[in-house]
Amino acid sequence: MLLIGPPGAGKGTQAERLSEAFDVPAVSTGDIFRFNVKNDTELGLQVKAFMDAGAYVPDSLTNAIVSDRLKKPDATEGFLLDGYPRTQEQVLELDRLLEADGTALDAVVLIVADTEEVVARLLKRAAEQGRADDTADVIRHRLAVYEEQTAPLIDIYSSRGLVVTVDGLGAVDEVTGRILEVLAARGLTVPVAAVPVTSGDAASAS
């Protein structure tokens, strides 16, 4: 499964929850890059300037990272990609990877959110977490890059019949609920074991 949406739409938050619900790893290229920057790795040094400017990391680097990550044993039964693919070249690379594995995407979850709302969320996150790319100017740039490079991918995946669209506004739980609902409507249901056990109250509810 893929999660697509503008910066600030809540992909990371929802990816964590879906990862738990479906018992598959959530792979976030942004998180992998940030981890490497934080730890001063060679990859971190290569990507830092791009990230700080709100620009995309070159496809060659990004594709190599994802290819490696999806080969790990925990991803053999499925995975959720958050923030990848973001360019048409990345779509082609993912197609190649999946085909080589004899597998295919089940769904592409598009989380939509109003621009002013996502800018407000990102500025709030800047105040809380101090991410280097959460300044007002860089946020505007990231949104522009998303519109130019990543929004066109929605058409590609729509023409393959894979896209489900969910409104990203509202409480985190509500959004998760919406995603699980649209996925269930496509026959993608959460494994029974992953459904939280409810208290006795549920039985008395009409």
What is the contact surface with ligand ADP in residues (CB under 6 A)? Answer: 7-8, 29-30, 33, 50-51, 54-57, 62, 83-84, 86, 90, 133, 142
Closer to ligand ADP at the Cβ: 22 or 84? 84
131 is catalytic: yes
Question: Closest separation between CB of residue 144 and ligand ADP, Å?
Answer: 11
Do the annotations mark residue 140 as ligand-binding?
no
Matching residue, tokens 């709030």: 124
Q: Is-catalytic flag, 86?
A: yes
Pairwise CA distance, residues 137 & 61, whole Å:
25
| Sign of the alpha-carbon dihedral angle for 154, 158, 164, 166 | positive
Instruction: Tell me whether residue 151 or residue 190 sits nearer to ligand ADP (CB atom).
Output: 151
Candidates 69, 121, 142, 178; catalytic one: 142
Interaxial angle between packed helices 11-22 and 172-185, expressed in degrees from 0 to 180 and rounded to the nearest 10: 50
Give the angle subtended at the CA of 15 by the CAs of 91 and 41, to the nearest 5°.
70
Q: Which residue has the tokens 């019949």?
A: 161
Please, what's the largest Cα pairwise distance for the chain?
58
> In 3-state terms, what secondary structure has residue 194?
helix
| C-alpha triplet 142, 56, 121: angle, nearest 5° | 30
Catalytic hit among 48, 69, 86, 178? 86
Question: Is 87 marked as binding a ligand?
Answer: no
25 annotated binding-site participant: no
Whether 8 has a binding-site annotation, put simply, is yes
Least Å distance between CB 204 and ligand ADP?
A: 42
34 belongs to an annotated ligand binding site: yes
Q: Is 11 a catalytic residue?
A: yes
Distance in Å, CB of 184 to ligand ADP, minimum: 26
Residue closest to 81 by CA, chosen among 22, 2, 146? 2
Under DSSP, is residue 112 helix (H, G, I), strand (E, B) or coil? strand
Please tell me which residue in 11, 48, 121, 178 is annotated as part of the active site. 11
C-beta of 123: minimal distance to ligand ADP in Å?
12
Binding site residue list for AMP = 29, 34, 55-57, 83-86, 90, 131, 142
Catalytic residue ranges: 11, 86, 125, 131, 142
Annotated binding site for ATP: 8-13, 125, 170
